[in-house]
Structure 1
Amino acid sequence: MFDMIISGGTVVNANGERRADVGITDGRVAAILSPGDVAEARTVVDAAGCHLLPGLVDAHVHLREPGLTQKEDFDSGTRAAALGGVTSVLDMPTDDPWTATSGQLAEKMAMAKGRIHVDVGFQAVLSQDLSLLEGLLALRPVSLELFTADVPEAFRFNTMDAVAEMLKRLAGRDTLIGISPGDQSILEGSGPRDGAGDIAAFLASRPPLAEADGVARAVLAAAATGARIHVRQVNSAIGVSTWRRLRDMADATIETTPQNLFFTAEDYATLGANLKGSPPLRNARDVEALRAALSEGLIDIVATDHAPHSPTEKAATYAAFADIPGGMPGLQTLLPTMLRLVAEGVIGLSELVRMCARNPAERFGLARSKGAIATGYDADILVVDRRRSSLITNAEQASRAAYTPFDGWSIPAKLTRVFLRGQEIVRDGAIIAERRGAVVVREV
């Protein structure tokens, strides 16, 4: 007898869809049953006519704890994730202090326990202090993050030689190196002139060329060293084109974000501070290139770069547009925005699962438990009813940012239930089981 059967739905995995019932025991998928198979369970959930998706894995999230909890914390950020169908959050290391030592990583893991609504894996930052590497690796973070520009000097690898030397040290190790592409020399050379502080100056200070050069250097360094890398959010046509030409040279993957698939720099005129982030939004041609790459399968992962700030911080007056705190919330809207891309015919449901569940789980060391509805996997399952519609609103956002750039958008589908390891945690837009998440690490 199963603990639970979710019956009558269509199971969606990265490799396709099939009508099936899902048997769950001890928090894991115990069987995928064909319609009509006779089975008993203590609880039966009727999902007739709905689609069952694996819980999403967001590979690029800033939960802001420790040190920046006026912006977000473990409770509020993972609450937003649960309500949006993201059952695994991979947290970035740029808090206060940055997560650079084994002690800081261990403390962060301990702080999260008992306070998270979904599972959370942590990412640590690489610094110039090479003595820290072994201690970090021993705690099995889901990635080690390498920055090439726009960060404090202690964490910046701003030459090809510096990047290659660090990758050489990590080649062959059981880890993934996330690389945020950029070129410090281009950023410094493209800075505002004559005190300009408007939107145009901000855009000019971070040109697509810096991204493309960063992508190229990351892939070439990985090819030369044999290291496994993941390139963080690409958002320009020239960046995509560079990736297209070089990606087969190395063990490398790449991501983009929902905001880069919908908004352009022209939207700063209306949404202003609420859209300000880095890299800056580009033009319509760049959005078209990203969408084409998504349809083609050239983009491996869609993640949110969920980076909230308090409403007070975003609403304050700043001398220059560049000074506005960069980043926006995204966890609660990842699934709805991806479903909108499905409705627009840009991708299919299986591609959604591939980019937002299977690929991030596989790449970040969670491939045996996350990213699929399959026997032996954690029963992290979303019930999506495509016969119903839903509306994204600021009022429903759980993040401390208290807004979403997608406010007012209609989505031709509705997330009705969320299960985390077989436990229903969300029903019809409300949390019904509190803080059931666990800290996860790279699987051995």
Structure 2
Amino acid sequence: MFDTIISGATVVNADGEARADVGIKDGRVAAILTLGDAAEARTVVDATSCHLLPGLVDAHVHLREPGLTQKEDFDSGTRAAALGGVTSVLDMPTDDPWTATSEQLAEKMAMAKGRIHVDVGFQAVLSQDLSLLEGLLALRPVSLELFTADVPEVFRFDTIDAVAGMLKRLAGCDTLIGISPGDQSILEGSGLRNRAGDIAAFLASRPPLAEAGGVARAILAAAGTGARIHVRQVNSALGVSTWRRLRDMADVTVETTPQNLFFTAEDYTTAGANLKGSPPLRDARDVEALRLALSEGLIDIVATDHAPHSPAEKAATYAAFADIPGGTPGLQTLLPTMLKLVAEGVIALSDLVRMCARNPAERFGLGGSKGVIAPGYDADILVVDRRRTSVITDAEQASRAAYTPFDGWSIPARLTHVFLRGEEIVRDGAITAEAHGAVVARRA
């Protein structure tokens, strides 16, 4: 007997769709059943004419704890994730303090237990202190993050020699290295050339050239060392073109974010602080290039870079546009914005699953448990009804940011149920279970 059967739906995986019932036992998918097969279960969920998707895996999230909990914390951030169908969150290390030592990583993991509504994997930051590596690797974080620009000097690897040196040190380690592309020399040079402090100055300080150079540097360094890397969000036509030409040289994947697929720098004039983040938004030609790359399968992962700030922080007055705290909330809107791209014909449902579930799970060491609806995998399952519509609103956001840049957008689908390891945690937009998410570590 199964614990639960979800019946009558179309199961969507990265490799296609099939109508089937799904049998769940002990928190995992136990069987994919032919529709109508005689089977017993304690609970039957009727999902007739709906689609079942694996729970999404967001590979780029800032939950802001410890130290920055006025912006977000484990409870509010993972509540937003659950409501949005993200059942696995991979948390970045840029809190206060940054997660740079094994002690800090262990403390963060312990702090999350009992307070998270979905599963959470943690990412640690690489610093100039190589003695920290062994302790970090022993805790099996889902990635180690390497920054090239716009961060404190102790965490900055701003030359190709520095990047290659660290990748060479890590090439034999069983881990993934996330690299945020940028160029510290352009950032500093732009600051000297343009002190206006306006939106144009901010855009000039982080141009497509800096991104493309960072992408090239990361790939070349990986090719020269044999390291496994993941390039953080790209959003320019030049960056995409560089990626297209060089990606086969190394073991490398790339991500972008939903905001970069919809908004341009012109939107700063109306949304201002609420859209300000890094890298900055580009122009319509860049959005078009990014969408084309998405359609062609050149983008491996779509993640949110969920980076909330308190409303007071965003609303404050700053001397320069660049000084506004950078980042927007996104966990609760990843699924609906991707469903909008499906409705627009940019991607298919199976592409959504590939980029937002299977690929991030496999790349960040959660393969075999997350990102696929198949026997043996965790029963992290979303029920999506494409016969209904939903509207994204500020009022429904669980993040402490208390807004979304997608407020008022109509989505031709509705998320009706979210299951985490076989237990229903969301139904019709409401949390239905106590927080029982698990801290997950890199498996392979």
Counterparts of 1:359 and 1:195, CA distance in 2: 42
The residue type equivalent to 2:434 in the other structure is E
Counterparts of 2:411 and 2:434, CA distance in 1: 27
The residue type equivalent to 2:138 in the other structure is A
2:135 maps to 1:135: yes
Counterparts of 1:169 and 1:54, CA distance in 2: 35
The residue type equivalent to 1:247 in the other structure is R
Shift of 1:189: 1.2
2:153 maps to 1:153: yes
**Counterpart position of 1:315:** 315
2:384 maps to 1:384: yes
**Counterpart position of 2:269:** 269
Q: Do the aligned partners of 1:192 and 1:202 also contact (CA within 8 Å) in 2?
A: no
Cα distance, 1:254–1:194 mapped onto 2, change above 3 Å: closer
Tell me the alpha carbon deviations over residues 232-283 of structure 1, each in whole angstroms, 9 at most, x when there is no partner. Answer: 0000000000000000000000000000000000000110000000000000
2:350 maps to 1:350: yes
**Counterpart position of 1:219:** 219
Counterparts of 2:41 and 2:432, CA distance in 1: 21
Counterparts of 1:178 and 1:4, CA distance in 2: 37
2:256 maps to 1:253: no
Q: Do the aligned partners of 2:254 and 2:300 also contact (CA within 8 Å) in 1?
A: yes
Counterparts of 2:36 and 2:258, CA distance in 1: 39
SS in 1 for 2:191: coil
Tell me the alpha carbon deviations over residues 169-206 of structure 1, each in whole angstroms, 9 at most, x when there is no partner. Answer: 11121100000001111111122646301111111111
Counterparts of 1:130 and 1:317, CA distance in 2: 40
**Counterpart position of 1:370:** 370
Counterparts of 1:167 and 1:195, CA distance in 2: 35
SS in 2 for 1:191: helix
Q: Do the aligned partners of 1:192 and 1:205 also contact (CA within 8 Å) in 2?
A: no
**Counterpart position of 1:70:** 70
**Counterpart position of 2:103:** 103
Shift of 1:157: 0.3
2:129 maps to 1:126: no
Which residues in structure 2 correspond to 1:24-35 (within 5 Å)? 24-35=24-35
The residue type equivalent to 1:293 in the other structure is A
Q: Do the aligned partners of 1:81 and 1:332 also contact (CA within 8 Å) in 2?
A: yes
Tell me the alpha carbon deviations over residues 36-86 of structure 1, each in whole angstroms, 9 at most, x when there is no partner. Answer: 211111110000010000000000000000000000000000000000000
The residue type equivalent to 1:196 in the other structure is A
SS in 2 for 1:335: helix
Counterparts of 1:82 and 1:343, CA distance in 2: 23
Q: TM-score, normalised by structure 1?
A: 0.99
Aligned-residue sequence identity (percent) comes to 89
Which residues in structure 2 correspond to 1:51-70 (within 5 Å)? 51-70=51-70
Q: Do the aligned partners of 2:66 and 2:95 also contact (CA within 8 Å) in 1?
A: yes
Which residues in structure 2 correspond to 1:196-345 (within 5 Å)? 196-345=196-345
Q: Do the aligned partners of 1:22 and 1:29 also contact (CA within 8 Å) in 2?
A: yes
Counterparts of 1:197 and 1:284, CA distance in 2: 23
Counterparts of 1:423 and 1:241, CA distance in 2: 43
2:433 maps to 1:433: yes
SS in 2 for 1:415: strand
Q: Do the aligned partners of 1:370 and 1:380 also contact (CA within 8 Å) in 2?
A: yes
Q: Do the aligned partners of 2:195 and 2:201 also contact (CA within 8 Å) in 1?
A: no
2:46 maps to 1:46: yes
Q: Do the aligned partners of 2:194 and 2:201 also contact (CA within 8 Å) in 1?
A: no
The residue type equivalent to 2:108 in the other structure is K
**Counterpart position of 2:89:** 89
Gaps of 5+ in 2: none
**Counterpart position of 1:185:** 185
Q: Do the aligned partners of 1:55 and 1:86 also contact (CA within 8 Å) in 2?
A: yes
Q: Do the aligned partners of 1:192 and 1:201 also contact (CA within 8 Å) in 2?
A: no
Cα distance, 1:292–1:349 mapped onto 2, change above 3 Å: same
Counterparts of 1:372 and 1:145, CA distance in 2: 26
The residue type equivalent to 1:63 in the other structure is L
Counterparts of 2:262 and 2:36, CA distance in 1: 42
Counterparts of 2:162 and 2:200, CA distance in 1: 32
The residue type equivalent to 2:104 in the other structure is Q
Counterparts of 2:43 and 2:194, CA distance in 1: 68
Counterparts of 1:430 and 1:95, CA distance in 2: 29
**Counterpart position of 1:117:** 117
How many positions carry a matched residue from both structures? Answer: 444
SS in 1 for 2:218: helix
**Counterpart position of 2:361:** 361
2:423 maps to 1:423: yes
Counterparts of 1:343 and 1:191, CA distance in 2: 42
Tell me the alpha carbon deviations over residues 402-423 of structure 1, each in whole angstroms, 9 at most, x when there is no partner. Answer: 0000000000000000000000
Cα distance, 1:194–1:363 mapped onto 2, change above 3 Å: closer
Q: Do the aligned partners of 2:278 and 2:326 also contact (CA within 8 Å) in 1?
A: yes
The residue type equivalent to 1:13 in the other structure is N
Q: Do the aligned partners of 1:192 and 1:204 also contact (CA within 8 Å) in 2?
A: no
Q: Do the aligned partners of 1:148 and 1:158 also contact (CA within 8 Å) in 2?
A: yes
Counterparts of 2:193 and 2:219, CA distance in 1: 32
The residue type equivalent to 1:166 in the other structure is M
Shift of 1:399: 0.1
